[in-house]
Every structure is written in structure tokens, then in C-alpha cells.
């Protein structure tokens, strides 16, 4: 390479990107492109992949085309380039006609160094004709795994890239991806006719990331607790659907977190606004769809949460790769339920047969990763064809909290033998059925029920799921291997053949036993079981309430009801925010009476080392909250309760219940306009006097005393009036 060009490279590296030296194979890749050679780069997220095409575009004449499926990434990278004086533009569906024409004019004029193009835009004939008029230095195909049906994000438009680029002249190509299994790698090279391209493959190990899979039970509660542990840090939460994205983003806002949604269904202006807020630290958490992806180059993302299971290990790896790109320790958590896998399978039912089968295979691999108790890092690296020999990575849940192990020598021998005796033509379903002695139609059709290995594993364990776990661990430890052309088929490895000839003890791990029963997430504020409340604390709170009531000359129940104090004695609130979430306690009650109760609970918690409400209590943002807002607004407008019930599709009884909840939670309501229609002043005064002198606000006791003269509706309404006036 010419000395002047080398000088220009180093100068641009420092001036534009702020680096003194290249990382890994970056310099070699860049030189290879500058020499007009086709190049294939497999480099994990955060390893500096983008620089490999940005820098050669900057230092040579012409415009480099960057084909990318991620609109978010386009905008982010264009903004970054423009911020340092490099003219970069994008051409995609978010632009108006006049904006597109301006981009085309500037590109033909030679002022654009990097032109980011969506694959859908590239396939339009008018854009192909425009690019023919421009001086194109090279084409970069980002997210190149989209070419392969075995990849996690197959895009049919990617199959046309090679032909379209061919129409633009003899232009060198650089294909880049952060996730490529050996099969996907072959597909990319074949489809782009890059069989002779030089391959640059970096290690997939992200040593600063901690990988964890949690069972999806009471997921909202555990999400809140996780976010409280990472308060103020930047993070991304991936969800399965746009609806879930909106729900979780709203749920987090209600619980005091700075969070915004991000998915393809949002208006582009809203999407960009939320993305910029995240990049500029005006919001901490972005909630995004797995399908749409983020594609955001933000170095200090400290955590990535998969609220729902991803479609594939490739997708999971790429999405977790958004965390810790600055090299600092970061946390990746997946909430896992096999129900998510079943939902994703349903999404695939209308796909073509081959695509559906491939998608099913990828989902099975994802489920196997979640269930496995083997080192997460070892599993991920093995999936991408990289061996990880360290016994304990110390940075995943399975290594930090190891599961029970068992001796697996005989089982591994059986698996290798089964693979060999079935002529290395089958995968995990067939081999597991064979070893467990299941004489299925498929097994019998091949005559495999006559094999020596058939049913040999039944004496050890007749459960097919057990044998699937053994097979996966046999694969992971490279006693067998996947066929490169067909990853669903196993072959015996050299190591496996040697093991059969000279076996040795080998420990295997028991899988996790994630169940699909029970509540995965709470649709509303979870009902707290107060049947086992702390009686000692309850008595202390009751004594405190009695002292305050005596001093203030008010009935004790006006301060806090018994059910409220039972819940306090179950959840141990120690902050004003926690106290406001206790049933029957709202903002005004908490402010008026809360301080001494919180002080007492905090002392009790410290003395007895107790888990507090901040660990377990979450706020709801569901339909009940919407009803509450509507009812408060329309009581302020003096609407009759019957009209409110009709308008909200509720019964009169449900409206009364909701009004009671609102009042007992601390919101002052003036319902005089409604009561005055039903009762004269004398009747109101009688019931009011009863509650003023009663020991409890119990309706049962009130009706026992008043039932001969007053209806239950009248007593309930007056109790609401009394509590609203006296307790706030």
C-alpha cells in the first residue's frame, strides 16, 4: 500500500474515530478492501465492524454503498459521521420524495462518502439507474447473515444484491456479520459469489458480558427488582410483540423509570425521537421488538433484558451484543418460558415448508440453550464454530450457580454409537427416540428398531428429554458434530471415535427444570397474601395507630384500616413510595399519617433482617387505572354513578367498589351532589355520627347497627363521604 494512503488511514483513524491504533484485524481488512478485493468479515457486535467499511470509504474517491436492513443503525451511523465532518446520507422509506432527490443529486455530485441503503430501496429500478450515474468505490453488505434461510433474520431482498451490484460495474464487496454459523457462512459466500473472498473471523467471546436465564414467573416483579439494581444505567428490553413493547414501556414509566418504546409500528418521527433520547441519555431504557431490532451503536448499554425468548441463538447473541460495547462489565438476562417458543412456532405456520422447518430448528436450539445447565459462554461459542476450553467462565448463571452433575461416560458412548449405526444421517429427535426405545413409525421405517443400540438407554432413563440433554452435551463437548450443509444432522467426530476406542470418565450436568405452570406475569397489581402477616409487627402498628388516634381525637380506622396494616406487616414498606402502594393507602394518607409508621417498620426490618416492599411491590398500569382516572374526572363533573357505569361498561356495584378503592387509597372525592339526591340531611348526619364514634369501618358491624333504618347503599355512600372528609 502507498505510504501516502497509509498516512491518510492513520490520520483519519485518529481524526474521525479518535483511535491511535487499530483493533484486531481491522487494519488488515481495510487494506484488503482498498486493494479492490472481495472481503468477508465475521466479527462480533462491539468489535469495531463498522469502521472496517467506514474508514476505506473516507480515504478513497467515490461513494461507498452500505446495504443495511436496520433503519435505526443507518440514522445512528449517519449522525455520527456527519458530526465529525464526513458527508454520509441514507436512502430509505423514511425520506420524502424531495429528500430522496437531494440525496441522489449529492451522491452523483460526488460529495457523499457513505450512502446507506435499505435492501428494499436498492431493489427499486429507479435507484439502480441513479447508482449507475454515481462513482461507487465499493459495496458493503452489512448484516450479511440475512442472505441465508438458516440465518436468524432472512430477508429475500438480500438474495438480489449480487445481481444488482453486478449491474453497477466491477465493484469490490465487503460482507459483514456479527453472527454466522458455519452453514450461514457457506450460504453468504455462495449467494454473493464470494467463494474466493478472504475470510476474517474474530472470536465471538464477549468476556465482559454476564449471561443469565431466569424462569418466567412473576416476570414484571422480577424486572422491576432487576431495574432497581441498575437504576440510572442504560439498557434495552426486548419483547416479542409491539403490543408487549408498549405495555412494558408504560409499566416501567408508572414504576418510576425513564423508558420509551421502539418498534416498526411507531411513526418514524416518534421512533427517531425515542432513539435520540436514549443516545443522549434523556431516557435510560428502550423497550424494543425482537423482530425489528435496535441497531443502535451506544457503547455504555449496561444491560440487555429479553422479556420474551428470541427466535434464535444468532438473534439472542446479536441483541445481547448491544451491551457493554465499551468493554465494561454488563448484564444480559433472559426471562424464559417454553410458552414463548410455542408462540413463535405459531408465527411460522404460514411460511414456506423449508423456511418453517429451519425456523423450528432455530427455536429448538434456543430452547435447548435456555434449558441447559452447561456454561452459557461455551454454548454460544460452540454454536458459532468456536471452541471454549475454560471449565468455568465465572460470568454466567450456570458457572456461578452450577447444577448437579452425573457420570456420563456410558451415555456418551451410546450417543456416538447411535450416530454411527444410523449412518450419520439423523438428528436429535431420531437419536433420542432410538436410545429411549421408542419404536415410532419413523424408527421402524428405517429398521432402526433392529439396531444393537436401540433401547440401550432405556435402562438408564426412558425419558426422551433426558437423552436430548445428553445428546446436546455430547455435541457441545465435540464427541459428535453437526453436518455443515445440514446442521440438523449429526456426524461422529474424530474425538468421538477415539472416545469409543478408549473411553474415560466424563461428567454431564442436569438440565434446568423450567416449568410452564403458574403466572408468567402479573396483569394487574398482584393480590398480596396477608394470611401469614407478621403478627408481632401488626400489634406494634396497631398500638401506634391507637396512640395517634387518641392524640388526634379520631377513630383509629380513619388513619389506616386493619387490612392496610396487615399488608404492611406482610410487605414491610420502608419508603413513602412503598407505603403509597399498600392497599387503602394513597398519597394524602401516606403524607398525613405515614412517617411514624415507616419509622417503626424500618427499625423492625433492620432488627430482624427482613426483605422489604421495594423488592416485591410493583405498580399496575392496566385497565383498572384507566377506570380510576375516568371515575375521578366524571365525579368532578358531577356525573351520576349509573351514567358512569353505562359509559364504562361496568355495573353499579363495580363503580361503587372502585369509588371505595379510590377513596381508601388516598384520593379525596366530593360525592355530595350524588348523596344529596338520595338522602336528606338528617339521615346523612345519623350515619356520619355512627362512623365518627365507631371502633371500625366494617360494613358488617355498621349494618348490624343501622340496617333497620338504612339501606346498604346509603351506608356505603356515607362511609365514602366520611372517609374522604376525615381521613385526608
pLDDT tens digits for range 65-96 = 999 887 777 887 898 888 888 999 998 888 88
| Range of weakest confidence among 2-6, 372-376, 510-514 | 2-6
pLDDT tens digits for range 550-608 = 898 888 888 888 888 988 888 888 888 888 878 778 777 888 899 999 999 989 988 88
CATH number of 409-505: 1.10.10.10
Residue 678 has pLDDT above 50, yes or no: yes
pLDDT, position 184: 85
> What is the H or E stretch that residue 63 is in?
strand 63-67
* Structural domain spans, the chain: 3-201, 209-371, 409-505, 535-615, 623-726
pLDDT, position 3: 53
Residue 279 has pLDDT above 60, yes or no: yes
Query: Which residue would you say has higher pLDDT here, 19 or 115?
Result: 115
Q: Could you tell me the three cell numbers for 41?
A: 468479515
Residue 526 has pLDDT above 50, yes or no: no
Residue 541 has pLDDT above 90, yes or no: yes
Determine phi and psi for 42, rounding to 5 degrees.
-115, 110
Question: Would you tell me the crossing angle of helices 313-320 and 376-383 to the nearest 10 degrees?
Answer: 120
Query: Which residue would you say has higher pLDDT here, 160 or 620?
Result: 160
Q: Which residues contact 442 (CB under 8 A, 6 or more apart)?
A: 430, 433
Please state which of the four CATH numbers 1.10.10.1390, 3.30.479.20, 3.40.50.12780, 3.40.50.150 is assigned to the domain occupying 623-726.
1.10.10.1390
CA torsion, points 177, 182, 186, 188, in degrees to nearest 10?
-20
pLDDT, position 387: 87
Question: Is residue 651 packed enough to be buried (19+ CB in 10 Å), middle (13-18) or exposed (0-12)?
Answer: exposed
Closest CA to 292 of 328, 252, 240: 240
Residue percentage of the chain with pLDDT more than 70: 92
pLDDT, position 524: 46
Residue 621 has pLDDT above 60, yes or no: no
| Range of weakest confidence among 16-30, 52-66, 297-311, 504-518 | 504-518
Rounded distance between C-alpha atoms, residue 364 and residue 358, angstroms:
10
pLDDT, position 624: 53
Residue 529 has pLDDT above 60, yes or no: no
pLDDT tens digits for range 641-676 = 999 988 888 899 989 988 888 887 667 889 999 999
Q: Residue with C-alpha cell 446495504? A: 67
Q: If you write DSSP's letter for every residue of 438-494 in order, what string do you get?
A: ---HHHHHTTGGGSTTTTTTTTT---HHHHHHHHHHHHHTTSEEE-SS-TTSEEE-H
pLDDT tens digits for range 483-494 = 888 888 999 999
Rounded distance between C-alpha atoms, residue 398 and residue 170, angstroms:
50
- How does residue 537 score in pLDDT terms, banded at 50, 70 and 90? very high
Contact assessment for residue 121 and residue 92, using Cβ atoms and an 8 Å cutoff = yes
Rounded distance between C-alpha atoms, residue 88 and residue 107, angstroms:
10
Closest CA to 205 of 22, 394, 479: 394
Residue 13 has pLDDT above 80, yes or no: yes
Q: In DSSP terms, which residues pair with 543 in a beta bridge?
A: none
For the chain, the average pLDDT equals 86
Residue 622 has pLDDT above 60, yes or no: no
Please state which of the four CATH numbers 3.40.50.300, 2.40.50.140, 3.40.50.2300, 1.20.1070.10 is assigned to the domain occupying 209-371.
3.40.50.300
Question: Would you tell me the crossing angle of helices 535-552 and 587-608 to the nearest 10 degrees?
Answer: 140
Rounded distance between C-alpha atoms, residue 293 and residue 600, angstroms:
48
Rounded distance between C-alpha atoms, residue 305 and residue 147, angstroms:
27
Rounded distance between C-alpha atoms, residue 518 and residue 215, angstroms:
11
| Range of weakest confidence among 230-244, 270-284, 364-378, 577-591 | 577-591
pLDDT, position 617: 55
Matching fold, domains 535-615 and 623-726: no
Fold of 3-201: Rossmann fold (3.40.50)
Residue percentage of the chain with pLDDT more than 90: 39
Closest CA to 219 of 518, 420, 485: 518
> What is the H or E stretch that residue 285 is in?
strand 285-289
Residue 727 has pLDDT above 70, yes or no: no
Architecture in CATH for domain 535-615? Orthogonal Bundle (1.10)
Task: Give one word for 141, left, alpha or beta, with left for phi > 0 and alpha for psi -120 to 50.
Answer: beta
- For 521-532, give one letter per residue: b (16+ CB within 10 A) or e: bbeebbebebee
pLDDT, position 637: 87
Closest CA to 219 of 615, 522, 578: 522
pLDDT tens digits for range 336-349 = 988 888 888 887 77
pLDDT, position 464: 87
Query: Which residue would you say has higher pLDDT here, 150 or 716?
Result: 716
Rounded distance between C-alpha atoms, residue 440 and residue 461, angstroms:
17
Q: Is the pTM of this model over 0.85?
A: no
Q: Within its chain, how far is the Cα of 645 from the centroid? A: 38
Amino acid at each position: 500500500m502507498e505510504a501516502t494512503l497509509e498516512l491518510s488511514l492513520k490520520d483519519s483513524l485518529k481524526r474521525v474515530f479518535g483511535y491511535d491504533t487499530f483493533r484486531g484485524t481491522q487494519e488488515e481488512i481495510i487494506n484488503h478492501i482498498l486493494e479492490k478485493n472481495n472481503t468477508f468479515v465475521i466479527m462480533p457486535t462491539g468489535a469495531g465492524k463498522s469502521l472496517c467499511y467506514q474508514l476505506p470509504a473516507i480515504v478513497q474517491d467515490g461513494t461507498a454503498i452500505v446495504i443495511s436492513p436496520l433503519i435505526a443503525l443507518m440514522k445512528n451511523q449517519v449522525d455520527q459521521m456527519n458530526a465529525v465532518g464526513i458527508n454520509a446520507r441514507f436512502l430509505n422509506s423514511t425520506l420524502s420524495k424531495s429528500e430522496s432527490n437531494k440525496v441522489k443529486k449529492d451522491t452523483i455530485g460526488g460529495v457523499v462518502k457513505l450512502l446507506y441503503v435499505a435492501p428494499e430501496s436498492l431493489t427499486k429500478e429507479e435507484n439502480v439507474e441513479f447508482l449507475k450515474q454515481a462513482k461507487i468505490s465499493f459495496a458493503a453488505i452489512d448484516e450479511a447473515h440475512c442472505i441465508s434461510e438458516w440465518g436468524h433474520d432472512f430477508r429475500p431482498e438480500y438474495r438480489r444484491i449480487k445481481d444488482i451490484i453486478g449491474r453497477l460495474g466491477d465493484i469490490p464487496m465487503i460482507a459483514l456479520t456479527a453472527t454466522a454459523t458455519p452453514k450461514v457462512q457457506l450460504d453468504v459466500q455462495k449467494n454473493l459469489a464470494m467463494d474466493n473472498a478472504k475470510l476474517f473471523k474474530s472470536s465471538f467471546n464477549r468476556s465482559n458480558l454476564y449471561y443469565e436465564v431466569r424462569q418466567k414467573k412473576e416476570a414484571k416483579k422480577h424486572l422491576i427488582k432487576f431495574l432497581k439494581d441498575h437504576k440510572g444505567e442504560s439498557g434495552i428490553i426486548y419483547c416479542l410483540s409491539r403490543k408487549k413493547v408498549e405495555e412494558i414501556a408504560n409499566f416501567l414509566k408508572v414504576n418510576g423509570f425513564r423508558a420509551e418504546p421502539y418498534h416498526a409500528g411507531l411513526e418514524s418521527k416518534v421512533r427517531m425521537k425515542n432513539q435520540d433520547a436514549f443516545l443522549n441519555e434523556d431516557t435510560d431504557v428502550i423497550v424494543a421488538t425482537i423482530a425489528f431490532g435496535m441497531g443502535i451503536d451506544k457503547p455504555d448499554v449496561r444491560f440487555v433484558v429479553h422479556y420474551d425468548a428470541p427466535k434464535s441463538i444468532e438473534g439472542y447473541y446479536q441483541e445481547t451484543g448491544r451491551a457493554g460495547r465499551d468493554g465494561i462489565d454488563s448484564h444480559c438476562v433472559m426471562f424464559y418460558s417454553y410458552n414463548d417458543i410455542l408462540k413463535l412456532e405459531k408465527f411460522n405456520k404460514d411460511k414456506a415448508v423449508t423456511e418453517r422447518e429451519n425456523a423450528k430448528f432455530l427455536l429448538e436450539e434456543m430452547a435447548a440453550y435456555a434449558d441447559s445447565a452447561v456454561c452459557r459462554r461455551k454454548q454460544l461459542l460452540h454454536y458459532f464454530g468456536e471452541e471454549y476450553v475454560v471449565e468455568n467462565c465465572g460470568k454466567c448463571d450456570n458457572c456461578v450457580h452450577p447444577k448437579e452433575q452425573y457420570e456420563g461416560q456410558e451415555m456418551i458412548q451410546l450417543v456416538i454409537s447411535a450416530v454411527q449405526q444410523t449412518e450419520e444421517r439423523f438428528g436429535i429427535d431420531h437419536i433420542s427416540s432410538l436410545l429411549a426405545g421408542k419404536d415410532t413409525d419413523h424408527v421402524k421405517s428405517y429398521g432402526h428398531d433392529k439396531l444393537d443400540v436401540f433401547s440401550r438407554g432405556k435402562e438408564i432413563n426412558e425419558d426422551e428429554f433426558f437423552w436430548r440433554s445428553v445428546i446436546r452435551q455430547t455435541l457441545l463437548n465435540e464427541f459428535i458434530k453437526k453436518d455443515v450443509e445440514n446442521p440438523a444432522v449429526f456426524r461422529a467426530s474424530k474425538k468421538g471415535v477415539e472416545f469409543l476406542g478408549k473411553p474415560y470418565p466424563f461428567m454431564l450436568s442436569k438440565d434446568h427444570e423450567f416449568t410452564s405452570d403458574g403466572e408468567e406475569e402479573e396483569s394487574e397489581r398482584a393480590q398480596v397474601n396477608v394470611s401469614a402477616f407478621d403478627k408481632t409487627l401488626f400489634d406494634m402498628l396497631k398500638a401506634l395507630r391507637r396512640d395517634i388516634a387518641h392524640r388526634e381525637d379520631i377513630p383509629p380506622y380513619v388513619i389506616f384500616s386493619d387490612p392496610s396494616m396487615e399488608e404492611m406487616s406482610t410487605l414491610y414498606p420502608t419508603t413513602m413510595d412503598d407505603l403509597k402502594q399498600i392497599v387503602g393507602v394513597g398519597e394524602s394518607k401516606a403524607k398525613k399519617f405515614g412517617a411514624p409508621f415507616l419509622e417503626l417498620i424500618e427499625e423492625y426490618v433492620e432488627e430482624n433482617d427482613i426483605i422489604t416492599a421495594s423488592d416485591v411491590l410493583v405498580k399496575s398500569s392496566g385497565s383498572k387505572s384507566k377506570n380510576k382516572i375516568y371515575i375521578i374526572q366524571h365525579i368532578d363533573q358531577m356525573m351520576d354513578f349509573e351514567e358512569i357505569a353505562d359509559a364504562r361498561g361496568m355495573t353499579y356495584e363495580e363503580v361503587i367498589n372502585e369509588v371505595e378503592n379510590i377513596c381508601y387509597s388516598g384520593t379525596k372525592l366530593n360525592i355530595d351532589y350524588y348523596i344529596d339526591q338520595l338522602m336528606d340531611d338528617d339521615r346523612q348526619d345519623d350515619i356520619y355520627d355512627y362512623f365518627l364514634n365507631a371502633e371500625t369501618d366494617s360494613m358488617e358491624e355498621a349494618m348490624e347497627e343501622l340496617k333497620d333504618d338504612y339501606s346498604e347503599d346509603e351506608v356505603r355512600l356515607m362511609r365514602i363521604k366520611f372517609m374522604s372528609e376525615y381521613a385526608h
